[in-house]
Every structure is written in C-alpha cells, then in structure tokens.
Amino acid sequence: RERLGIRHIDIVIGGSIGGFQALEWSIMFPEKIAGMVLLACNAKVSPWGTDFNETQRMALFSDPSFEEQNSISGGAKGLETARAIALLSYRSYKGYKLTQSEEDCDKLFAEKACSYQKYQGKKLKDRFNAYSYYTLTKSIDSHNVGRGRGGVEKALSQIKAKPLIIGIDSDVLFPLEEQKFLAENIPNSQFEIISSDFGHDGFLLEWKSITAAIKKHIKIIQ
C-alpha cells in the first residue's frame, strides 16, 4: 500500500479465505480503511473447518508419492481425492440434487454424481500441486484474528471500517452463525443473508444478489 502511494482505502471486499485477509487488514489498519465487505467467512477457523482440512491432508498422505517423490507432481492422486472431499464442504445436498441427479431412473448406480467428483479432482490436479494445496490448508487452519490481540471479540471491536457482513443460508463450511457473530461483534455492522441452493459456493454463484447488497452498502458509506 505505501509503496503504491495509497494512503486511504475506501473499501476492502473479501469472500471465504479472502474475507480472512480483508478482516485482518481492517484490524491492522483501522484508520486507513473506510468500508469493508465480508462474504461467507469467519473470525476464527472452526473445529469443523479444521477437520475438513485435516481429512484432505490425510488423503494427500495416503498417496505414497506425496512424501516419496522429489518433484512437484508428487501426491497427484491424493490431491484429486482431497479436492473431491473439499467440494462436499463447498456445496450442499440440494445443490447436488439439482445438478447431479440421474435422469434415468432405472440405473443401478449413480454414475453422474461419481463422475462429477472425479472430474473436479482431476481438473484441480491438472492446474495445481499437492504441496501448495497442503500449505493452503495449513494457512486456513491458522486463521484466528484474536491471536495476540486479547481474543476474537476484542480484536473485532477495534475495527472502524463500516462493515457489511454477508452470509449464505446453505453454507455448511462457514454457517450463518459465524457471520452473525461477526455482525454482533464488529461495531455498526450491516448483515445480509443471501439465499442459495449451492452452499458455500453461493458467494461466487449468487453474484446478482451480492452485487445489489454491496451497491447498497457503498451508498451508505459514501
């Protein structure tokens, strides 16, 4: 920020782990940031979120090449499985029912849903690597804005940016109670609930509703 000559920030916006960063900046620089939008995130990683990550790491380590292979391609099969596990936390029962149900009612096995998980695992494996993925999960597990600040509530109370907190009603990874906690503990918060069939990924897919909420918030803080 200083290198670029930016003295004041009108608004920071972050969704999911991007929300972690927006929240951290707002605590670090309360006098520099005027507005803030946090989407589908929390103030401290939950045991539920940590165990989704730990289960993915178990999948990485179950691939012998993750530890044995001295190249960036190690752990590729484990990464595919880890991604498939993660996807379940990003979506919802209703979302899968809408998009992955079999059209043929006489099929013995649910091939469509199975092939979708495999496809998503392979797609990530082809553009990412297992070691970066492992590091990303560990960085998420370290999220706690209250560390070294006297606790989460005290840290959130220091924020001076005018906040909009947005939650997705079907999000199982960052459930609404976590955004409600943010709204209750960050001064002068506005709180919006977005309805979606697609779980945590609703913060990416429900862009029309989210855009409308952000535009309304920008008018308030101007």
CA angle 15/139/186 to nearest 5° reads 45
Residues 110 and 80: their CA atoms lie apart, in Å, by 19
Task: Pick the catalytic residue from 16, 26, 92, 170.
Answer: 16
Tokens 């190249």 sit at which residue? 71
Check if 196 is active-site.
Answer: no
Task: Pick the catalytic residue from 63, 92, 196, 200.
Answer: 200
Task: Pick the catalytic residue from 26, 63, 143, 171.
Answer: 171
Check if 143 is active-site.
Answer: no
Amino acid in the structure at residue 91: R
Residues 24 and 152: their CA atoms lie apart, in Å, by 11
| E strand spans, the chain | 9-15, 33-39, 162-168, 190-194
- Sheet with 162-168: strands ordered across: 9-15, 33-39, 162-168, 190-194
Residue 117 corresponds to which tokens in the numbers above?
């998980």
Check if 200 is active-site.
Answer: yes
Residues labelled as active-site residues:
16, 171, 200
